[in-house]
A = this chain, B = another copy of it.
Amino acid sequence: MNHYRVLIDANDEKGLVHKVSSIFFKYDLNILSNSEFVDKESNKFFMRSVVEGAVNKKELRDAINALLPKNSSVKVIEPKKKNIIIMATKELHALGDILIRHESGELEANILAVVSNYDKLESLVEKFNIPFITISHEELERAEHEEKIIECLSSYKNVDYIVLAKYMRILTPHFVETFKDKIINIHHSFLPAFIGANPYKQAYNRGVKIIGATAHFVNNNLDEGPIVAQEVIHVNHAYSWRDMQRLGRDVEKVVLSRALKLALEDRIFVYENRTVIF
């Protein structure tokens, strides 16, 4: 008996649950968990089922697809480790949290490599026997540097996600397009606030009483893709912006790891600039 994750994204119409569940019934699949959501405004239907049984994945997908409206998306996925590449710069908290979780076996992921524009994190990464690749941006035009990184990343086959664990360089639309829907970023601010450089200093100057972090997919604009997870922490007047930065790191790492876990478990649907998370 195997498990399958069935992900459906379709225009809504009456009877969809009935149709899909009839296929599960026909193929003698037991539903282990099931989530649906209908966005009334955009008339979109989302469904994620985990089913148990023995079935040909392609056949199941086609059988479901045949009953759905045109332009629907159906995925049938067998749970297995996904391939990820992590990009970082100099801070180790977010990267370190992923490495420790990976070590504990809780992530359904193979970390193919860590790519950085500095070599500062090399000794940490190598402790875990993971390849570390430094691609310095010094003396390079932005486009040249990015092309080198694209080349490096493209040399890996079947990369499922690229995780920006505090990678502090701005990515061009070309880069984002190359790895469309695959890039997860941790933004060191509670989006949509304080976009730009040093958000903790901005937060301090604004005298906020709460700071936060946001994990999101990256689309054209580095800080503006669909949000996956957010978390906050209370601060007060006695926190300098460096205190806020330090505390913010604890939030950042938790939020990024949470988002990564959701992605690895195929729990995220993206549509428009939003996410549905089951």
Contacts and interface: CB of A to CB of B under 8 A. Distances in A.
Interface residues of A, number: 67
A150 interface: no
Interface string A200-222: 00000111111010000000000
Interface stretch (A27-35, A65-73, A109-117, A156-164): A27-35
Nearest to A238: B37
Contacts of A208: 191-192, 227, 230
Given A14-B28, A210-B212, 19 more contacts: A14-B30, A18-B22, A31-B38, A33-B238, A34-B36, A37-B237, A39-B237, A190-B193, A190-B210, A192-B193, A192-B208, A193-B193, A206-B273, A207-B226, A207-B272, A207-B273, A209-B230, A210-B231, A234-B234
| Assembly stoichiometry (copies) | 4
A122 interface: no
A176 interface: no
A31 B206 CA distance: 26
A192 to B, nearest CB: 5
Nearest to A46: B237
A7 B138 CA distance: 48
A228 B106 CA distance: 28
